[in-house]
């Protein structure tokens, strides 16, 4: 396990890791070492980098689910809509009931996650049972899902009072550590253990690498695919609920808008190939932090927010080139010739 991590994993994580370090250095250069140093304010850990990590959690949830789906050679474009639906179901339930009851809050969260999981399972069924191409199957709910979220909220933005226990999911803390960060670490840990310490990860890579051979080998590829899309939907719903708890409301129009593209970017930056098979959850974590850190860096260096999309594209372009063995060979070729001549 350690040998595998120091081999393939280290090579895959090296370039995203260097980009992450470079962005941190740039922020320190423009704002000082206070950017990286956490401080305790009113019993809660805070600071610029802590804020980046806390704001990364919803995207992290979506990107982790997207990594598993891409590992099966699929794609899920509906995660943004599922994000909005999960938030809409939970907040609308609380808005029409008792917001300060812990029981009502738990029921609201369960309803939001349940609906998101059902949508994910439906996407998986469309792909694995009915043979619909993943991009088409999930595009349907990408378009229709946001309309469903608007129907649930009646076109309004339902709110939750600050006194409700629900908002602690996005604003609370445990031992001074923001609760969203704890949730993010816990979900990462569970998925990494499930995919690297059990047969689930091997079966997943097998299904993504060669679905036909997997079926002939006796692997239940259809059930695996449905399960993976279900997990992806569940995590997208969780992301929406955490964001809704943070802002105290569910915006069906803008909640999770274009988050599917950021999630795919994070997966690509993290070294997972869109062709399926091998996947790197830790690389996706790096990719998510890079994207969120990039948004802050643009502000700290004095650029306008219009640079955000261009900067993301440039970073993805640079990381993709650096991860390409052919590009690295071409880049170092002149130096190798000089070394041979000497």
**19-74, pLDDT tens digit by residue?**
899 999 999 999 998 888 888 888 888 899 999 999 999 999 999 999 999 999 89
Quote the pLDDT of residue 92.
94
Which pair of tokens denotes residue 240? 């929406």
> What per-residue confidence (pLDDT) applies to 187?
96
Q: What is the pLDDT of residues 85-137, one digit of tens each?
A: 999 999 999 988 888 889 999 999 999 999 999 999 999 999 999 999 999 99
β-strands 173-174, 177-178: how paired?
A: antiparallel
In the prediction, which pLDDT does 70 show? 94
Q: pLDDT exceeding 70 applies to what percent of the chain?
A: 95
Q: pTM for the complete prediction? A: 0.90
pLDDT of residue 14: 83
Residue 240: the pLDDT is 96
Model confidence at 221, in pLDDT bands (50, 70, 90)?
confident
Of 8-12, 171-175, 202-206, 303-307, the poorest mean pLDDT is in 8-12
Residue 196 has pLDDT above 80, yes or no: yes
Q: Which of 156-160, 245-249, 327-331 has the lowest mean pLDDT?
A: 327-331
Angle made by CA atoms 140, 313, 252, in degrees to the nearest 5? 40
Can you tell me the mean pLDDT for 195-211?
86
**Structure confidence at residue 177 as a pLDDT band (50, 70, 90):** very high
Instruction: Give the per-residue pLDDT at 116.
Output: 96
In this predicted model, what pLDDT tens digit does every residue of 268-319 receive, in sequence order? 888 888 888 888 999 999 999 999 998 899 888 888 877 777 877 887 777 7
Q: What average pLDDT is seen over the chain?
A: 88
Q: What is the pLDDT of residue 215?
A: 77
How many of the other CB atoms lie within 10 Å of CB of 142? 18
Q: Tell me, what's the pLDDT at 341?
A: 62
Check residue 100 and give its pLDDT: 86
């Amino acid at each position: 396990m350690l040998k595998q991590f120091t081999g393939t994993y280290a090579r895959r994580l090296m370039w995203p890791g260097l980009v992450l370090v470079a962005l941190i250095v740039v922020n320190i250069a423009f704002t000082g070492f206070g950017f990286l140093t956490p401080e305790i304010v009113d019993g809660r850990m805070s600071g610029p980098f802590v804020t980046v990590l806390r704001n990364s959690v919803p995207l992290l949830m979506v990107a982790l689910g997207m990594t598993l789906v891409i590992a099966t050679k699929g794609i899920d474009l509906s995660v943004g809509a599922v994000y909005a639906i999960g938030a809409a179901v939970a907040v609308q339930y609380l808005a029409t009931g008792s917001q300060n009851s812990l029981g009502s809050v738990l029921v609201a969260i369960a309803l939001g996650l349940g609906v998101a999981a059902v949508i994910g399972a439906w996407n998986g069924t469309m792909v694995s049972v009915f043979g619909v191409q993943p991009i088409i199957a999930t595009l349907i709910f990408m378009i229709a899902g946001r309309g469903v979220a608007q129907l649930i909220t009646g076109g309004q933005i339902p709110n939750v009072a600050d006194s409700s226990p629900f908002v602690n999911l996005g604003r609370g803390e445990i031992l001074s550590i923001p609760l969203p960060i704890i949730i993010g670490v816990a979900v990462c840990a569970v998925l990494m253990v499930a995919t690297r310490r059990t047969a689930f990860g091997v079966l997943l890579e097998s299904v993504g690498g060669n679905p036909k051979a997997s079926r002939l080998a006796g692997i239940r590829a259809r059930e695996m695919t449905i399960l993976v899309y279900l997990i992806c939907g569940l995590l997208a719903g969780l992301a929406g609920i955490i964001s809704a708890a943070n802002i105290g409301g569910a915006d069906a129009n803008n909640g999770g808008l274009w988050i599917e593209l950021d999630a795919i970017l994070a997966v690509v930056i993290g070294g997972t190939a869109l062709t399926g098979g091998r996947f790197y959850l830790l690389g996706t974590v790096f990719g998510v932090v890079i994207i969120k850190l990039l948004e802050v860096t643009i502000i700290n260096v004095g650029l306008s927010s219009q640079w955000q999309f261009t900067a993301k594209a440039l970073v993805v372009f640079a990381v993709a080139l650096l991860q390409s063995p052919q590009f690295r060979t071409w880049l170092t070729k002149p130096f190798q010739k000089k070394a041979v001549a000497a």
